[in-house]
């Protein structure tokens, strides 16, 4: 297996043999509040994000930042408290429950954290794929054969083996195959490589990139793993329920949100502590931040 090849493929994301099939994702002012211990907690407090069709994006950020919440909103598993989520032509925030069911059946594949949570333990990998295809078939969607799906993720040799006989890496591939069973336009993965050995992790990542390359599927994964992030062409850092920055090809960027605010990278925040008065200069096409000496917002 060649990492270089994978990277090469990822750079050509969304352009498989059958053309772009991925679904774009966009959010605007996305807010999600949940209730815990009698208090309202804002998991997301205004996320503006656009993922292009066929793109591979990693969601990064500390625990509790709202990555998984964002992912579940993308998957139509929850409804946002405010704002909009659009996946392809679907505006998820206004869809009825049966529409959301059909959306999950055909347009989105979700990998939950922990491979076993994605699989019916008493079925083989092939049977799990077949199980996952039923709703899509019922909804009138053409679905690939289970063998094709399993071959794509590289699990065709273990298609009929009992799940409890598979090693963790193959189990995760099986989970991936199940999420791809209906050939969705969007694949969402919550820590798809967690609890895996390096080798297995790479196998899974290879499979993800292969899916993206061959089917053009848009892929959004949550990860804590820097190595995994390094292999993704685009990463979005979620911090305190908002988009905190982006990384593209190893470069870190701050992202201006829809309301014009700009979360500064951590290193910049150290230089400009909260409350610091900053003057924005534009000179020769370059915007500069100039700290006002001794000035604070409250003083």
Partner 1 sequence: MWAAIRYRRAQALVLVLLATLVTACATFAPLYERALEQSLLRKAIDGAPVADTALVVRGGRTAADPLRRSGSLGTAVPGEVRALYSAPVGQMLDVIEIAPRTGLKSSPGRLVARTDVCRHLTLTSGTCPSREGQVLVSAKDQAVWGWRIGQEFQTTIPKANGQVYPRPPDTVATLTVVGAYEVKPDPAYWLRTQLDGKSGTLIAVGTEQVPGIDDFVTTEQTFDKRWEQVQSSLTFPLRRELLSVDNLDQVTSVLGSRANGSAQSGVLVESELPLVITSVTGGQKQLRVIVPLLMAQLALLAAAILLLVAQAAVEQRRPEAALARLRGRSREGAGRLVMGELGMTVALGLPLGFGLAVGLSEVVRRTLLAPGVPFEVPPLALVGLGAAAVVCALAIVLAVRPLQRQAISSLLRRVAPTRAVTFGVVDILAVALAAFGLVGLATKTLTGPLALLTPTLVALAGGLVVSRLAVPVARTAGRASLSRGRIGPALTAFGLQRRPAMRKVVTVVSVAVALTVFAGNAVVVADRNWTARAQLQTGAPLVLGTDSRNPSALAVAVKRIDPSGDRATPVAVIKQVAAGSTPTIAVDAQHFPSIAYTPAGEVLRTSALRPPPVDTVVLKGERLTGRATWHVTAESNILYPGSTGQASDLAPVEVRFSVTGPDGTPLVRQVTTIPANGSGSANISTPLLCPSGCRLNGIDFRPTDPATKLVSATVDVTGLGVDGRSLGIADTSRWNAFVPLSKDSTDVLRMTNPKPDTMRFDVRTSGVAVGLTYGDVPTQVPGLLTGAVPPGGTAEGFTAVGINGVPLAVSSAQRPAALPVVGARGVMLDYSTLQRLGGTLAPGGTLSVWLRDPGQADVVRKGLADAGIAVLRTDRFTTAKDLLATSGSGWGVRLALFTGVMSILLAALVVIVMTVTGWRVVARDLAALHMSGVRLPLLRRALVREQLLLVVVGTVVGVLCGAVSALVAMPLLPLFDDPSAPVPALEITPSVPAVLLATLAALLVLVPVGAMAALGSGRRIALRRIRESL
Which member of 135, 148, 264, 289 binds partner 1 (CB under 8 A)?
A: 135
Q: Is 98 in the site for partner 1 (CB under 8 A)?
A: yes
Closest CA to 271 of 244, 243, 291, 299: 291
Q: Is 110 in the site for partner 1 (CB under 8 A)?
A: yes
Q: Which is nearer to partner 1, 98 or 250 (CB)?
A: 98
Query: Which residues, including other chains, have CB under 8 Å from residue 286's CB and lie 6 or more apart?
Result: none
Tell me how far CA of residue 31 lies from CA of 26, 47, 91, in angstroms. 13, 7, 15
Q: Is 211 in the site for partner 1 (CB under 8 A)?
A: no
Q: Is 64 in the site for partner 1 (CB under 8 A)?
A: no
Q: Is 52 in the site for partner 1 (CB under 8 A)?
A: no
Query: Which residues, including other chains, have CB under 8 Å from residue 165's CB and lie 6 or more apart?
Result: none
Q: Which is nearer to partner 1, 119 or 236 (CB)?
A: 119
Which member of 112, 152, 153, 236 binds partner 1 (CB under 8 A)?
A: 112
Q: Which is nearer to partner 1, 34 or 253 (CB)?
A: 34
Closest CA to 174 of 213, 203, 198: 203
Of the candidate spans 55-63, 81-89, 123-131, 250-258, the one that interacts with partner 1 by CB under 8 A turns out to be 123-131
Tell me how far CA of residue 244 lies from CA of 56, 121, 260, in angstroms. 18, 38, 13
CA–CA dist 134, 198 (Å, integer): 34
What is the closest distance, in whole angstroms, from the C-beta atom of residue 199 to partner 1 in the complex? 20
Residue 279: DSSP 8-state: E
Q: Is 88 in the site for partner 1 (CB under 8 A)?
A: no
Of the candidate spans 9-17, 99-107, 229-237, 258-266, the one that interacts with partner 1 by CB under 8 A turns out to be 99-107
Q: Which is nearer to partner 1, 43 or 51 (CB)?
A: 43
Which member of 123, 254, 255, 289 binds partner 1 (CB under 8 A)?
A: 123
Cα angle for residues 60, 24, 4 (degrees, 5° grid): 60
Compute how many other C-beta atoms are within 10 angstroms of the C-beta atom of residue 294: 7
Binding stretches for partner 1 (CB under 8 A) = 72, 77-78, 97-98, 101-106, 110, 112, 114, 116-123, 127, 131-132, 134-136, 139, 178, 181-182
């Amino acid at each position: 297996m060649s990492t270089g090849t994978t990277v090469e493929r990822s750079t050509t994301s969304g352009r498989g043999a059958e053309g772009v099939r991925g679904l774009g994702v966009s959010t605007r002012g996305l807010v999600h509040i949940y209730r815990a211990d009698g208090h309202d907690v804002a998991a997301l407090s205004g996320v503006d994000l656009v993922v292009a069709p066929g793109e591979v994006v990693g969601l990064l950020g500390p625990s509790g930042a709202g990555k998984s919440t964002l992912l579940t909103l993308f998957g139509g598993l929850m409804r946002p408290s405010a704002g909009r989520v659009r996946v392809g032509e679907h505006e998820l925030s206004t869809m009825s429950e049966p529409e959301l069911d059909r959306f999950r059946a055909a347009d989105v594949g979700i990998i939950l954290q922990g491979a076993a949570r994605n699989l019916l333990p008493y079925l083989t990998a092939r049977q799990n794929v077949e199980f996952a295809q039923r709703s899509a078939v019922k909804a009138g969607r053409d679905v690939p054969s289970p063998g094709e799906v399993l071959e794509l993720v590289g699990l065709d040799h273990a298609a009929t083996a009992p799940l409890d006989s598979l090693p963790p890496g193959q189990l995760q591939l099986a989970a991936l195959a199940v999420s791809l069973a209906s050939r969705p336009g969007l694949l969402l993965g919550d820590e798809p490589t967690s609890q895996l050995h390096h080798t297995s992790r790479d196998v899974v990542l290879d499979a993800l990139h292969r899916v993206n390359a061959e089917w053009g599927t848009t892929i959004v994964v949550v990860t804590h793993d820097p190595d995994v992030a390094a292999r993704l062409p685009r990463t979005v850092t979620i911090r305190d329920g908002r988009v905190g920055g982006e990384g593209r090809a190893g470069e870190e960027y701050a992202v201006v949100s829809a309301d014009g605010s700009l979360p500064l990278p951590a290193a910049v925040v150290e230089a400009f502590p909260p409350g610091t008065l900053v003057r924005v200069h534009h000179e020769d096409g370059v915007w500069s931040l100039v700290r006002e000496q001794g000035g604070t917002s409250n003083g």
